[in-house]
């Protein structure tokens, strides 16, 4: 199990369709992660991966302060974030989101003796 502390929203420069600056807008960790989930092709390969993507998306959207994921789901989310073609400026402005994912705490579950 991995536990991720959800960072505060960060201001990110927005652009108009013509490329001009439209000012800054707050970007949330959830929106950042959903962007990676929605572009990760692995979540479209077979029903098992589709269901995993749905499960991760639901966990991200329901998280309030802390995101808890099973190790396999964390690994898939991390792969989605690492594989996403981020624009360099956006990536720099969202560095705290990358750090939050990288600094996820591993929760060790004790094995019960029978």
What predicted TM-score, i.e. pTM, was given to this entire model?
0.84
33-to-25, 67, 94, 108 alpha-carbon distances in Å: 17, 11, 11, 24
pLDDT of residue 114 exceeding 60, the answer is no
C-alpha span between 26 and 35 (Å, rounded)? 15
pLDDT tens by residue, 5-23: 999 999 888 777 787 777 7
> What sign has the CA pseudo-torsion 8, 101, 3, 53?
positive
State residue 24's pLDDT score.
81
Q: Does position 107 have pLDDT exceeding 90, yes or no?
A: no
- Contact between 74 and 37 under an 8 Å Cβ cutoff? The reply is no
């Amino acid at each position: 199990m991995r536990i991720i502390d959800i960072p505060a929203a960060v201001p990110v420069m927005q652009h108009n369709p013509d490329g001009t600056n439209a000012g800054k807008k707050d970007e949330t960790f959830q929106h950042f992660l959903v962007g990676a989930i929605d572009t990760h092709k692995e979540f479209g390969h077979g029903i098992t991966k589709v269901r995993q993507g749905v499960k991760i998306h639901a966990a991200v959207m329901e998280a309030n302060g802390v995101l808890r994921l099973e190790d396999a789901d964390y690994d898939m989310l991390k792969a989605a974030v690492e594989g996403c073609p981020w624009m360099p400026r956006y990536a720099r402005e969202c560095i705290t989101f990358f750090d939050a994912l990288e600094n996820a705490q591993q929760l060790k579950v004790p094995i019960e003796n029978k």
